[in-house]
Chains A and B, each alone.
Chain A
Amino acid sequence: LAKTTQPISMDSYEGQEVNITCSHNNIATNDYITWYQQFPSQGPRFIIQGYKTKVTNEVASLFIPADRKSSTLSLPRVSLSDTAVYYCLVGGRTSSGSARQLTFGSGTQLTVLP
């Protein structure tokens, strides 16, 4: 079971780039890494997913080193509305197709200051 570790909180200022790192030392071969954003009183919302190297979409980038034991979510030029809790999630399916447990980290509270 892949356990994940993230910083509890981070502060940033508007317009800065923010990098949040998640550690997942015992990630399995078939596991993917997914990041979610959660606002108070709402369910988490998908941001980005990757397996290795770098993935980029319209809102974020995800960097995964070759050993895949960690991953970094990069948010370019954050705004006040990016204040939220960010979770990394590790999991996937076995080679036989059955599901592996999906394990969320404890989340990182990002606070963007004006």
Chain B
Amino acid sequence: EAQVTQNPRYLITVTGKKLTVTCSQNMNHEYMSWYRQDPGLGLRQIYYSMNVEVTDKGDVPEGYKVSRKEKRNFPLILESPSPNQTSLYFCASSLPLAGGRFGEQFFGPGTRLTVL
């Protein structure tokens, strides 16, 4: 089954304790992206990656890191989490198509993070 998986689905942690949220897709998609979703603010892009070893900042990259060492994986790293990073996080993947178009983005189930 074609899917994007995220782990963990729920996480409660404390300020300053490094954490990683994993994201994996089995569709051989080149494009992957992380979003955070907060009430009233919709979805905001954190980082995105066009392919292996190619990453770029989105709207709200501060406090986050990513890596893309393999095509299927795109982990989100919070080196020193703070309470303002409490949010619902979504990973997505897509296939870039001809003519500047991105194909349908497939979203993971989300990771609800609470930083105390």
Residues in chain A within 8 A of chain B (CB atoms): 30-32, 34, 36, 41-46, 49, 51, 87, 89, 91-95, 98-99, 101-107
Contacts and interface: CB of A to CB of B under 8 A. Distances in A.
Interface string B72-116: 000000000000000000101000100011101111111000000
A34 to B, nearest CB: 8
B59 interface: yes
Given A30-B100, A49-B101, 20 more contacts: A31-B100, A32-B101, A34-B102, A34-B104, A36-B105, A41-B110, A42-B109, A43-B4, A43-B108, A43-B110, A46-B104, A93-B96, A99-B96, A101-B48, A101-B56, A102-B58, A104-B42, A104-B45, A106-B42, A107-B43
B104 A32 contact: no
Interface string B24-58: 00000001010100001111110010100000101
Interface of B: 4, 31, 33, 35, 40-45, 48, 50, 56, 58-59, 90, 92, 96, 100-102, 104-110
8 contacts: A31-B100, A36-B105, A43-B90, A46-B105, A99-B56, A99-B96, A104-B43, A105-B42
A99 B104 CA distance: 15
Contacts of A104: 35, 42-45
Most chain A CB within a 10 A radius of its CB, from B50, B58, B107, B109: B107
A98 B102 contact: no
Contacts of B96: 93, 99
A91 B106 CA distance: 16
A99 B96 CA distance: 9
Nearest to B96: A93
Contacts of B58: 101-102
Nearest to B57: A101
A53 B1 CA distance: 34
A92 B101 contact: yes
A41 B109 CA distance: 8
A92 B42 contact: no
Contact of A45 (B44, B107, B108): B107
A89 B103 CA distance: 12
Contact of A43 (B41, B56, B92, B104): B92
